[in-house]
C-alpha cells in the first residue's frame, strides 16, 4: 500500500486511536485499521503523512515491544 492509498483510506473515515499512556500534551502516534494494513500517523499532524504497515509486521512490532525490546 502506498502513502497515497493510505491517505485515501484515511479520508474514507478510518477510526484513529492513541495509547492511554499518551502524555498530557497528547504528542502520540495514532493507529487505525485499514482494509489491508495498519495505518500510523503523528497525532500532532493529523493531515500529514500516514505510514501503512502490513498486519504481520505490526504483530511483530507489538510482540517486540511487549517483550521489552523498546525499553530504554
Q: How many structural domains is the chain composed of?
A: 1
- Distances from the Cα of 20 to the Cαs of 7, 29, 34, in angstroms? 24, 11, 21
Predicted confidence (pLDDT) per residue in 13-49, tens digit: 678 998 777 777 767 889 999 889 999 998 888 889 9
Q: Per the domain annotation, does 54 fall within a domain?
A: yes
Q: Is residue 71 part of a domain?
A: no
More confident residue, 54 or 35: 54
Residue 54 pLDDT > 70: yes
Range of the domain at 16: 3-66
The answer to whether residues 37 and 22 touch, using CB atoms and an 8 Å cutoff, is no
Give the model's pLDDT for residue 5: 55
Q: Is residue 72 domain-resident?
A: no
Residue 3 scores a pLDDT above 90? no
Domain contains 43: yes
What DSSP element (H or E) covers 7?
A: helix 3-11
- Is 42 inside any structural domain? yes
Band of residue 52 on the pLDDT scale cut at 50, 70, 90: very high
Amino acid at each position: 500500500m502506498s502513502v497515497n492509498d493510505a491517505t485515501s483510506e484515511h479520508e474514507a473515515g478510518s477510526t484513529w486511536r492513541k495509547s492511554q499512556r499518551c502524555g498530557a500534551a497528547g504528542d502520540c502516534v495514532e493507529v487505525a485499521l485499514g482494509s489491508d494494513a495498519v495505518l500510523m500517523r503523528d497525532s500532532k499532524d493529523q493531515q500529514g503523512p500516514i505510514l501503512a504497515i502490513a498486519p504481520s509486521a505490526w504483530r511483530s512490532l507489538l510482540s517486540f515491544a511487549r517483550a521489552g525490546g523498546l525499553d530504554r
